[in-house]
Amino acid sequence: MNAAGGRPIIGTGAVAAIGGSPAEIFESLCAGKSGLAPMRGFDRSFYTGDRLFEIDNRDGGDVPGRATAFLLDAITQALAEAGMDEQLGDIPVLVGTGLRELRSVELWARDGVPMSPGRLHFGTALRERFGATNTHTFSNACSASIYALALGTDLLASGAAETVVVAGVDAITESMVGMADRLQSVAPDTVRPFDRNRRGTVLGEGASAIVLRRNENPGERCLGRVRGVAVNCDAHHATAPAPANIATAIREAHERAGTAPEDIDLVMLHGTGTHANDAAEAEAMRTVFGAAPEKTLMTAMKSMTGHTSGASGVHSLIVALRAMTQSVVPPTIGLDDPIDDAAGFRVVRNSPEAANLALAQVNAFGFGGINAVAIVAAQR
């Protein structure tokens, strides 16, 4: 952390099923607009569930390289908002993802669609598009982009970099659709975070990116600040999260940020809509915040974007920045009957809520006990 209270965020970019920019995504969230639609890239007759949160940029069947295209789009947006030259050189670009370009591999293996091994690594396209020579990819499940953020802030704090680009991306793969379809014997009608009648998660896709500085440059626009990031990997179970270790990550994020739970105005919940994850996150939040926090508003954007996996953490961070700037919290949709552990939480439901917001917490938790939490501050 620097003397000004965190690392300045000077640019953002994002794409998702509900919009092609941070502004469009936030507007859709506030309007309660869901990106859920009949699946476009796969044969629906193969699966029990037939709806996904896909980005509608295809005519007919699936095509290779979509994850890479999403990533380049989000980074281009972030650099433009930051007013930066697109030739990045040795500025670190840190990308969190669940599956990289696995969908391209599936198309190559099944249909013979040409695929170069070098295209599996985002670094190839980042070097071609942005001249980026210092790129790193982290495959840390659903918390990957906040893990990337943790390393990015460490690089800034140590003086190893003056500027970093942090991003997350995932495109839906047929293997993941197949696994989810077999695991969830009753197909979810939608994503219902923390609802008693939730049936599981539904996959989404997209990318998110932010540009951070070590210190704020004179005359440069600051959108907000990263105050602290904490990560842990408890390896408790392949899929079942451990509430105590999630709580540990939350507490450490506050310690690093110099904040306390009672300071937080908004929590961007991980909120996958699965039985295990929602229950564990709610228990961890009760442990740290208490059963009925008086001040803290909460929301879960996956109810409208689906689970965007590696992109989801920075997606939530960008939405938190916009919520603090515009003094409004987007709602969680599909939450009609809260589970007992979340009954005392002030989750914004059905319509947006106006609020004066200065500090936000972003939750991101993945398979294998990969937990990540970030604390971000509004620019005042």
The partner residues of 16 in beta bridges, in order of sequence, read 19
Identify whether 237 is a catalytic site residue: no
Q: Are 54 and 123 in contact (CB under 8 A)?
A: no
352 three-state secondary structure? coil
The Cα 224–Cα 136 span in angstroms is 24
Angle at 251 between CA 250 and CA 252, to 5 degrees: 90
Given pLDDT bands bounded at 50, 70 and 90, which one contains residue 187?
confident
Average pLDDT over residues 227-238: 89
Question: Mean pLDDT across the chain, nearest whole number?
Answer: 94
3-state helix, strand, coil in the chain (%, to 5): 35, 25, 40
pLDDT number for residue 345: 97
Per-residue pLDDT at 235: 83
What is the number of structural domains in the chain? Answer: 1
CA angle 274, 275, 280 (to 5 degrees): 100
Whether 163 is in a domain gets the answer: yes
Domain assignment of residue 228, yes or no: yes
Q: Is residue 207 part of a domain?
A: yes
pLDDT band of residue 3 (cuts 50, 70, 90) is very low
Strands 328-329 and 353-354: antiparallel
Rounded CA gap, 219 and 229, in Å? 26
Question: Cβ atoms within 10 A of the Cβ of 347, count?
Answer: 21
Q: Provide the pLDDT confidence category of residue 2 given band limits of 50, 70 and 90.
A: very low
Phi, psi of 131 (to 5 degrees): 65, 25
Which of these is catalytic: 30, 254, 307, 315? 307
* Orientation of helix 102-111 relative to helix 66-82, angle to 10°: 150
Confidence check: pLDDT of 380 > 80: no
Provide, rounded to the nearest whole percent, the portion of the chain with pLDDT above 90: 83
Give the domain extent around 169: 7-378
- Count of other CB atoms within 10 angstroms of residue 358: 13
**Residue 61 above 80 pLDDT?**
no
Looking at residue 261, its pLDDT comes to 97
Q: What is each CA distance from 182 to 40, 218, 316, 340, in whole angstroms?
A: 19, 54, 28, 28
pLDDT of residue 186: 83
In this model, does residue 370 exceed pLDDT 70?
yes
Task: Look at strands 297-299 and 266-268 and give their pairing.
Answer: parallel
Is 127 inside a domain boundary?
A: yes
> Residues in the chain, how many?
380
Residue 205 lies in a domain: yes
**Alpha carbon distance 155, 150 (integer Å):** 9
Where is pLDDT greater, at 121 or 266?
Answer: 266
Q: Which residue has the higher pLDDT, 60 or 265?
A: 265
Residue 358: band (very low, low, confident or very high) from pLDDT cuts 50, 70, 90: very high
pLDDT at residue 249 tops 90: yes
Q: For residues 172 and 204, is the Cβ–Cβ distance under 8 A? A: yes
Single out the catalytic residue among 30, 121, 136, 142.
142
pLDDT tens digits, 197-227? 999 999 999 999 999 999 999 889 999 999 9
Inside any domain, residue 1:
no
Chain segment 78-132, per-residue pLDDT in tens: 999 999 999 999 999 999 999 999 999 999 998 999 988 888 889 999 999 999 9
Domain membership flag for residue 2: no
pLDDT at 222: 96
Which has the higher per-residue pLDDT, 42 or 92? 92
> Residue 334 is which amino acid?
G
Q: Cα–Cα distance between 241 and 233 in angstroms, integer?
A: 11
pLDDT beyond 60 at 4: no
The CATH number that applies at residue 321 is 3.40.47.10
In a domain, 261, yes or no: yes
Label residue 269 by pLDDT band (50, 70, 90): very high
Q: Which of 30, 254, 270, 315 is catalytic?
A: 270
pLDDT of residue 1: 41
Residue 136 is among the residues annotated as catalytic for this protein: no
pLDDT tens track for 132-166: 999 999 998 899 999 999 999 999 999 999 999 99
